[in-house]
Amino acid sequence: MNFLQSLQNPHVKAWKKLSTKKGRDQSGLFLVEGFHLVEEALKSRAEVQEIIVREGTELPAHFYIDTIDITTVTDEIAQAIAETEHTQGVFAVCKQELQDFPSLGAQRILLIDSVQDPGNIGTMIRTADAAGMDAVILGKGSADPYNAKVLRSAQGSHFHLPIIKMDLQPVIDDVKKREIAVYGTSLEGGRSYTSIEPGAPFALIMGNEGSGVKQEWLEQTEQNLFIPLFGKSESLNVAVASGVLLYHLRGQLQ
């Protein structure tokens, strides 16, 4: 057990860098904060490199940390690396998962095309987990899934299913080769989602909050779907729309 007191310590500097996308990309690591997320990281197959605890903060006895480095830090350091205003004072440094998508053989996949808002991305990951998806793929132009706000909104679902940053094209190619239906989403054109019989494997593409799914993907789908708007609103929030579509498409099979 180490104890760090200086904000100038290189470890502290390295942790602070994980608050930026550049720092996360260069190290291949990310930082989760709070008892719930740290517990989810420890319970999962995620590789937890170390745990950081503010002095005076107790780790629950059921946390499985026998083989993991623990560093105790001052309150000043905890505040410096925290992304929340009132930090719980517990953090885990985790390794980003690098998966080779086509090897997964995933049967139900959510593809995210250029969704910008971290809260939306996190909620979509949480929703994909709840709906039993096998993987979430984030294409170019989407917010970084290891951003602190994405991690908080996803409430630990990062540790429950593969979250992969990669170009959508090879995923679409792989899925089509395996004769799995790819559905796009579009406010105009296409068919109501309820016209699709639930239960078969599928890949669903959700798009940017303002501009929707890019034309280049819409042209490659088996069918583009819309959600009917019965009132006067012009659209649904993208995470809400994901929930409606994923729950319909998967059906009630386990």
Q: Interface residues with a second copy (CB under 8 A)?
A: 119, 123, 126-133, 153, 155-157, 160-161, 192, 194, 227-237, 239-244, 247-248, 250, 252, 254
Minimal distance in Å, beta carbon 34 to a second copy? Answer: 14
- Nearest C-alpha neighbor of 251 from the set 135, 137, 132: 132
Least distance in angstroms from the C-beta of 246 to a second copy: 9
Smaller CB distance to a second copy: residue 53 or 196? Answer: 196
Run of H or E including 54? strand 48-54
At its nearest, how many Å lie between a second copy and the CB of residue 165? 20
- CA atoms of 47 and 29, how far apart (whole Å): 10
In the complex, the smallest distance separating the C-beta of residue 192 from a second copy, rounded to whole angstroms, is: 7
Residue placing its CB nearer to a second copy in the complex, 82 or 161: 161
Please provide the DSSP assignment of 166-232 as one string. Answer: --HHHHHHHHHHTT-EEEEE-SSSSEEGGGSPTTS-EEEEEEBTTTBS-HHHHTTSSEEEE----SS
Instruction: Find the shortest distance in angstroms from Cβ 124 to a second copy.
Output: 9
User: Closer to a second copy at the Cβ: 18 or 135?
Assistant: 135
Q: Which amino acid is at 15?
A: W
Q: Sheet with 108-113: list strands edge to edge.
A: 163-165, 135-138, 108-113, 202-207, 181-185, 223-226, 191-192
3-state DSSP assignment of residue 235: coil
Q: Which C-beta is closer to a second copy: that of 35 or that of 247?
A: 247
Taking the complex as a whole, the smallest distance from the CB of residue 169 to a second copy amounts, in Å, to: 26
Q: Considering beta carbons, is residue 68 or 236 the nearer one to a second copy?
A: 236
Our CB check for a second copy shows the closer of 10 and 210 to be 210
Q: Which amino acid is at 185?
A: T
- Residues paired with 70 in a beta bridge: 51
